[in-house]
Structure 1
């Protein structure tokens, strides 16, 4: 939803003005908030309940993006980074919390993997295709992309260690998962210190937020209120999604892994996808790549450590970071591709189509597992 280094982005959806009230078309999806509650109370089929809750989540996440953007423009960079860390992937975090309490640990770990893969392959690939339909070639800041791709390699190494330990030693990896989570959290804090304090001069221009006119004219207090109300509504809808996902899995005949890696990951990252494609159409691929990479990094460096450290309180046992071989292979390939695309600072539509093809291949493989 937001930028890893503390800057928010908006989507500038088609808007409609009713008197003095400005509405975006996506705001009409807020009607699904009460509808999703009705579906749940009436015990309608799982696919109906899930779809209505998913539509509500899309609208709520859009409001959170705009509110966070307005707030971030009016506070310091440090406070902005804290707000983005807290609300940047709030919906993914809430769904993961409810899913852990429901005993869906496999789906939670798959959704983490899926969010990383989707943001690097699908979101960036979609942006390159969207921008490539308008421009023959597009350039981006390869230094910024290189920093993110290096961080992604560190993440893959960290997530691979508990899995390799469990496979080779044959013992539970809860203690190692906690240690890895702490290390990832520390490197997250150090990266914020790097971009906000010691080397902030390198990031001022390319991370400049959109002008305030890009957002609706909400006063600061209104934006804060909308953000808090949206967060509460997001928690409610997240619980409905988790309640409907188990019967939906049985109805569709899919696995927890596919549900987390594809369905949940796609649903919770729709705002980033729209935003990144829009910036690509404006010939700002630096921001498009940064949105994808930053969201992936924030999931791994902030959400994962918090989930691991909280899991024992929620379920009575620590969630480990042991991933399946297919998940590990997918993460390794994603990190390699991210490192490759950041090398030359130039992209085109075919390169984007190739990224989309890799994502489709991974999703197809998990469908058959």
Structure 2
């Protein structure tokens, strides 16, 4: 009779598990290590406490406003860590999508509380800040060193066409509302807005298919050399995929709470401070996201190394 030898795989030792946990904790600490971010994290519990202890609308708004800034920065950092595991194009799309997470969450809270004017102003403010502030900053910094750069004309025209379509979608309902009898046109504007929203979602889906599938070669023509450099210089992810996804979920929930508390105080702060709801949506809410991502925008300029497609895509992609 032949003897059968069974070899059991060694179980991970306690020291191995402890080393893994310590490495994960150290990676998380490195993510929140910047001094200004560590200081602003204090406002997260303070913002929540201010709402439940009724410290007043001004305190609730200010504390939660400051609390969302580090949360948006952390969400962007974790998203970038996830993006390192996938291709440059899809990673850029993922980062551009999550950069708008703050505006999206705050807008949902404002819609739930009936602050439609704040939602409208925040959408417009986000587009203006990305196209003027962010893109203008890119051009200023890059143009200071080199006078002329090449870019992919087809990709730029595609993004410009989508932005034109989005502007038309905002202008038409506004024009109808301003020049028609409100009692007669209200239902028509509502139906038009619903139809426009569906059309914009469908067009955006086609744009993704165009960019990532059918015509991705148009977006890769100028990136071939940059991608070779990226393979050599690309950073390694600091966190495991499961930890990154879990952190993204936790941070998103925290943003949802702080955003809800911030929106709930807009009515009161508008009455006491004289700040209009339009100003809050047009200026203050977009600032929360753009201030948090200012470091990432400057890093994108540095890493682009003359690749104007990456620069334009980072700014315009967030607006789209």
Question: Does the CA-based 8 Å contact 2:43-2:67 persist in structure 1?
Answer: yes
Paired positions, count: 279
2:12 alignment partner in structure 1: none
Task: Please report the TM-score for the alignment, with normalisation by the length of structure 2.
Answer: 0.76
d(CA) in 2 for partners of 1:48, 1:214: 40
Q: CA RMSD in A?
A: 3.0
Query: Which of 122, 126, 147 is 1:137 aligned to?
Result: 147
Query: Which of 98, 107, 115 is 2:118 aligned to?
Result: 107
Question: Does the CA-based 8 Å contact 2:80-2:95 persist in structure 1?
Answer: no
1:292 alignment partner in structure 2: 315
The structure in which a higher percent of residues are helix is 2
1:202 alignment partner in structure 2: 218
Task: Please report the TM-score for the alignment, with normalisation by the length of structure 1.
Answer: 0.67
Residue 175 of structure 2 corresponds to residue 164 of structure 1: yes
Point out the more displaced range, 210-219 or 111-120: 210-219
Residue 200 of structure 2 corresponds to residue 184 of structure 1: yes
Question: Does the CA-based 8 Å contact 2:50-2:60 persist in structure 1?
Answer: yes
2:130 alignment partner in structure 1: 119
Question: Does the CA-based 8 Å contact 2:72-2:293 persist in structure 1?
Answer: no
CA deviation map 1:158-181 (0-9, x unaligned): 222222333344311000111111
Point out the more displaced range, 138-147 or 204-213: 204-213
d(CA) in 2 for partners of 1:56, 1:39: 12
Point out the more displaced range, 141-150 or 196-205: 141-150
Question: Does the CA-based 8 Å contact 2:76-2:95 persist in structure 1?
Answer: no
Point out the more displaced range, 147-156 or 76-85: 76-85
d(CA) in 2 for partners of 1:291, 1:235: 24
Q: In the superposition, relative to structure 1, how do residues 87 and 132 fare at CA in structure 2: closer, same or farther (>3 Å)?
A: closer
Query: Which of 154, 164, 169 is 1:153 aligned to?
Result: 164
Residue 254 of structure 2 corresponds to residue 254 of structure 1: no
d(CA) in 2 for partners of 1:286, 1:84: 15
Structure of higher CA gyration radius: 2
Deviation at 1:213, TM superposition (A): 5.6
d(CA) in 2 for partners of 1:63, 1:104: 27
